[in-house]
Chains A and B, each alone.
Chain A
Amino acid sequence: MTTAKGYGTLIGDGLWSNNQMLVALLGLCPLLATTTSATNGLGMGLATTVVVTCSNGTISLVRNLVRPEIRIPVFVLVIASFVTLVELIMQAFFYELHLVLGLFISLIVVNCMIIGRAEAFASKNRLDRALVDGLAVGLGATLVLTTLGGLREFVAQGTLFSQIHLLLGEGARGLTLRLGEDFQGALIAILPPGAFIGLGLLIALKNLIDTRLERPTRVRTVTTPAVSAARS
């Protein structure tokens, strides 16, 4: 398992087939807490990507040095250091965004996805592969966080990427989408239950797409119940 995979497979796994958020369901805590808007999801996803890439790289570099008995404490130390660094840098350079996301950045430490990648992949693989894996897994998480954030934001407030200028600078203001001033959405989407419902729908959607791709001949019989389930 650890020898044969090329970069392409690694990227495919991280982004889609083994997406840590949708398939492994790791890192639910930040996933559910921060995705109240697409901007928050994107910011959290990018921060997570930085941390998982750095920690994967570091752990891969020292994998022959660290004895198995102490590997978990070492992973925790490495991850916690990187998270603190990200938080400090964010406070210094993206202060406004930190005001929105600040509370959740420290949550990256307890994101099981990161220690999961350290244990399952980085500690057994070369530096380049560990970095690619970290990047792919991180971007896969970003994708899910942003989609779920966008979904919840859109259903609840009728906007997409509001406040994106805090993340990408003034030039990005044009990305914000708004459905009229007095949009009355479904409030539940932005409350905690909305996160679970949204995540459920995303998982259903992914499974639906996978099923279609895998069994093109049985499309009708297999997917019809799934479609109605996803829409209800």
Chain B
Amino acid sequence: MKTRSILLAGFVLGSFAISGVALVAITHEAVEPRIADNQYQAMQRKLASILPAGQADNDPLQDRIQVSGGGLLGTDTAQVYRVHRGETSVAVILEPVVPDGYAGPIRLLVSVLRDGSLGGVRVLSHHETPGLGDKIEESKSDWVYGFEGRSLTDPPRDQWSVKRDGGYFDQFTGATITPRSIVRAVKNTLLYVERHGDRLFAPAADTPDQPARESS
């Protein structure tokens, strides 16, 4: 009798586990394509927002390469999305990491146009203090739009820092470390593109998978 009740309990528990897992698995199967599509579109919108409108005719997400960033991109391997119009290269979009954020690494999305100017900068993820450092998000403040159109000559190289350090870019009230790190990382990204631009902008066919390894 005792054994029977234990078995019965086990059977009931087991069937709950099976039906629970089945329910989740079926739903997962049903919505998976939709979720992947959402993620893809969200990324596409993000890329499109930092490119000049109507200039690209390829899907940058389909033409991406891995590069070794060395000391300039803050990460060992960074994604680079390449944007073309026909055979002409329009821009490259890099995913550098800011290693020295106030509360941990900040992942950026930086688009550099063919002429070396910035198409725009966006923050992909960060852990900065809510209310202070999180003004780097475009939903919280316009600060990050300030990079649009800037390049290594505008402002000049030695002006590529926040105002408190005698540079060109604003910091925000109560937070200097976050903008300072981001300005430095964006500058480094521009330097990287300046050095490896030929290879990054080259047509897809003759690009090596690993443009020059860089040691900082």
Q: Which residues of chain A are near B139, meaning CB under 8 Å?
A: 163
Are the C-beta atoms of A187 and B132 separated by less than 8 Å? yes
Are the C-beta atoms of A67 and B131 separated by less than 8 Å? no
Q: Which residues of chain A are near B12, meaning CB under 8 Å?
A: 65-67, 70, 74
Are the C-beta atoms of B38 and A77 separated by less than 8 Å? no
Are the C-beta atoms of B16 and A74 separated by less than 8 Å? yes
Given A70-B9, A85-B27, A190-B131; A92-B17 close (CB under 8 Å): no
Q: Shortest beta-carbon distance, B178 to chain A, in Å?
A: 14
CA distance A92 to B16 in the complex (A): 26
Q: Shortest beta-carbon distance, B16 to chain A, in Å?
A: 5
CA distance A70 to B39 in the complex (A): 39
Are the C-beta atoms of A85 and B24 separated by less than 8 Å? yes
Cβ < 8 Å to B, chain A residues 181-199: 184-185, 187, 190-191
Given A70-B13, A187-B132; A88-B20 close (CB under 8 Å): no
Chain A: CB-nearest residue to B39: A95
CA distance A191 to B134 in the complex (A): 12
Q: Shortest beta-carbon distance, A184 to chain B, in Å?
A: 8
Interface of B is mostly: helix
Q: Which residues of chain B are near A62, meaning CB under 8 Å?
A: 16
One digit per residue, 1 when the CB lies within 8 angstroms of any chain A CB and 0 when it does not, for chain B 23-57 equals 11001100100110011001000000000000000
Q: Which of A74, A99, A156 contacts B13 (CB 8 A)?
A: A74
Given A157-B131, A187-B131; A89-B31 close (CB under 8 Å): yes
Given A70-B13, A92-B35, A156-B131; A80-B27 close (CB under 8 Å): no
Q: Which residues of chain B are near A9, meaning CB under 8 Å?
A: none
Q: Which of A78, A91, A184, A191 contacts B38 (CB 8 A)?
A: A91
Chain A: CB-nearest residue to B31: A92
Q: Shortest beta-carbon distance, A137 to chain B, in Å?
A: 22
Cβ < 8 Å to A, chain B residues 51-68: none
Q: Shortest beta-carbon distance, A87 to chain B, in Å?
A: 10
- Is B130 interfacial (CB-CB < 8 Å)? yes
Chain A: CB-nearest residue to B132: A187
Cβ < 8 Å to B, chain A residues 8-45: 36
Q: Which of B5, B13, B21, B31 contacts A91 (CB 8 A)?
A: B31
Are the C-beta atoms of A89 and B27 separated by less than 8 Å? yes
Q: Which of B130, B173, B174 contacts A190 (CB 8 A)?
A: B130
Q: Which residues of chain B are near A74, meaning CB under 8 Å?
A: 12-13, 16
- Is B212 interfacial (CB-CB < 8 Å)? no
Q: Which of A65, A88, A96, A191 contacts B27 (CB 8 A)?
A: A88
Interface residues of A (CB under 8 A from B): 36, 62, 65-67, 69-70, 73-74, 77-78, 80-81, 84-85, 88-89, 91-93, 95-96, 99, 156-157, 163, 184-185, 187, 190-191
List 12 A-B residue pairs with CB atoms under 8 Å apart, sorted by A's residue number. A74-B16, A78-B20, A81-B21, A84-B24, A84-B27, A85-B27, A88-B24, A89-B31, A92-B38, A156-B131, A184-B173, A191-B130
